[in-house]
Structure 1
Amino acid sequence: MDISVVIPAKNEQDNIRHLIEEIVTVLTGKVEFEILCVDDGSTDLTYSCLAEGLFPQVRLIRHQKSAGQSTAIWNGVQHALGRWIVTMDADGQNDPADIPAMMQQAKGLSSNTHFCIAGYRKNRKDTAWKRWQSKIANAVRSRLLKDETPDTGCGLKLLPRATFVLLPYFDHMHRYIPALVRRLGGQIVIVEVNHRERKFGTSNYNMWDRLGVGLVDMLGVMWLQRRSKQVQLHRADE
């Protein structure tokens, strides 16, 4: 299996089916792939839309209660069969048409053990308020973590499954995947991707999610980075 597309979905009944149709259209005939949809405790008809079995490429995982986006992604990856993992948001704002270009970048990094191809939504189709929140959050995170990633909040990423399973798991870890991959000595490649307006539903995040809780998480990631350096120095002295 070449690609496992992992999609965490919560209350996206009006978006998820069309997104899967797009992914199937883009990838069919190009690679061997599967789509793992993780219904994270939806209270609408998201699970019913996925359970109809219209797409043989789809494997469905269901959380009876919402566990958060990071847990949904982590759980999907644990069940994934693909050599590479592609993560995407379920709201339809990520464009599956960008996946082939990311795959080409990944093929050029075959000699690297660990890497992450990270999407950059240069022309975001969100409200000015949401863009401002993300700009501040990205600036603070980049300064503290030095992950050289302008848009770590972009859900569209590609990395080896073997890399992902080595990343430390914690709530909200999906926002820090580039920094965590760099901690392993991995390479980060930034690719500009298309970003689309959300047609249906509302975002599950607010200002507190992006900044308040994020500051606590960043302190934890900084500790992990320092701990990794200490372990490397210790091994070098042995």
Structure 2
Amino acid sequence: MSYEFTIIVPVYNEEENLERVEKELSDYIAKSTKKTKVLFVNDGSKDNSQKLIELICQRSPDFSYLLFEENRGLSAAIKAGFDFADTELVGYIDSDLQTAPDDFNLLLEEIEEFDLVTGVRADRKDSFVKNMSSTIANSIRRAFTHDGMDDTGCPLKVIKTDYAKRIPMFKGLHRFLPAMILLQNGKIKQVPVRHFPRMAGTAKFGLWNRLLGPLMDCFAYLWMKKKYINYSVAKRG
């Protein structure tokens, strides 16, 4: 049976988490409702992440990786995953595992009727400052995009790959994936998922790139929306 679903795992200096990532994703693959494989995208890590990733991939054919020459950021890592995905469906999860791989099945239940299904982190286990900055950023983003999504920063998403590959990604646009699917006249849905505290490693985002950065990205999105080319062919001879 050929693979149906690729899970992208962006990695940047996450050596402390990768053993748990391997275990939890291996456990999920065994119970996934789709034939699933994992694609690590190492975003130029400076620690031992790459060595650990290669060992994981040697142990299982369900795991593979891309290694960037240098750090390019989360949006670039996700874009690379989209570019190299060869399955009908693609998703992603952060390597800190603050969301559960098992909850991909909740999203997969809905994906047949939609083109993107995103998680909404219920009962978030983050700090007050992190939660508040995310709430404000999401409110600002919704005012710009009108996508109706409550938590586009949730690192648990499933997308039909043909839609994902048409997203014109730029730095910061990973926060606008639902809106970019809407630009393609696609359908989107959000589903509550579990959320957990970070168990190891350090967060890669602070107040600037959780609040002020996304505000600037909203203007980039508006420019993209104005310039975006979308068409449908009525007839071909």
User: What is the TM-score normalised by the length of structure 1?
Assistant: 0.90
The yes-or-no answer on 1:194 pairing with 2:221 is: no
- Indicate if the aligned counterparts of 1:5 and 1:86 stay in contact, CA closer than 8 A: yes
Structure 1, unmatched stretches of 5+, are: 233-238
1:184-227 per-position Cα deviation (integer Å, ceiling 9, x unaligned): 11111110001111011111011111222212211111222234
> 1:235 is matched with which residue?
none
Q: Does the aligned pair in 2 maintain the 1:2–1:83 contact within 8 Å?
A: yes
User: Are 1:17 and 2:22 an aligned pair?
Assistant: no
Q: Which residue of 2 aligns with 1:236?
A: none
Corresponding letter in the other structure for 1:44: D
SS of residue matched to 1:4: strand
Residue among 22, 29, 33 paired with 1:27: 29
Q: How far has the Cα of 1:228 moved from its partner?
A: 4.4
Instruction: Tell me if 1:49 matches 2:52.
Output: yes
Offset at residue 54 of structure 1 (A):
2.2
Determine which of 81, 93, 107 is the counterpart of 1:88. Answer: 93
Aligned residues: 227
- 1:106 partner SS: coil
Distance apart, 1:96 and its partner CA: 0.5
Does structure 1 residue 61 correspond to structure 2 residue 63?
Answer: no
Gap runs ≥5 in structure 2: 232-237
Q: Which amino acid aligns with 2:53?
A: L
SS at match of 1:180: helix
Q: For residues 145 and 78 of structure 1, what CA distance do their matches in structure 2 show?
A: 25
The correspondence of residues 176-215 of structure 1 with structure 2, limited to 5 A, is 176-215=176-215
- Give the whole-Å Cα distance in 1 for the aligned partners of 2:41 and 2:144: 31
- Counterpart CA distance in 1 for 2:171 and 2:211 is 15
Q: Which residue identity does 1:37 align to in structure 2?
A: F
Task: Please say if 1:226 is aligned against 2:226.
Answer: yes
SS at match of 1:41: coil
**Contact persistence 2:82–2:161 (CA under 8 A):** yes
Aligned to 2:50, the other structure's residue is in SS state helix
CA contact (8 A) 1:16 1:92 kept: no
Write out per-residue CA displacement over residues 37-85 of structure 1, whole angstroms, 9 at most, x where no aligned residue: 0111111111111111223211111113100011011112211121100
Q: Contact between 1:34 and 1:82, CA under 8 Å: does it hold in 2?
A: no
Between 1:24-33 and 1:10-19, the stretch displaced more is 24-33
Deviations 1:89-115 (A, max 9, x none): 1111110010111111113x1xx6xx2
Q: Please, what is the CA RMSD of the aligned residues?
A: 1.7
CA–CA separation in structure 2 for the residues paired with 1:128 and 1:51: 37
Which residue of 2 is the match for residue 217 of structure 1? Answer: 217
Q: Distance in 1 between matches of 2:121 and 2:40?
A: 23
Residue pair 2:119, 2:157 contacting (<8 A) in 1 also = yes
Partner of 2:163: helix, strand, or coil?
A: helix
> Which residue matches 2:121?
121
User: Is the contact between residue 120 and residue 191 of structure 2 (CA under 8 Å) also seen in structure 1?
Assistant: yes
1:72 aligns with 2:77: yes
Aligned residue identity for 2:206: N
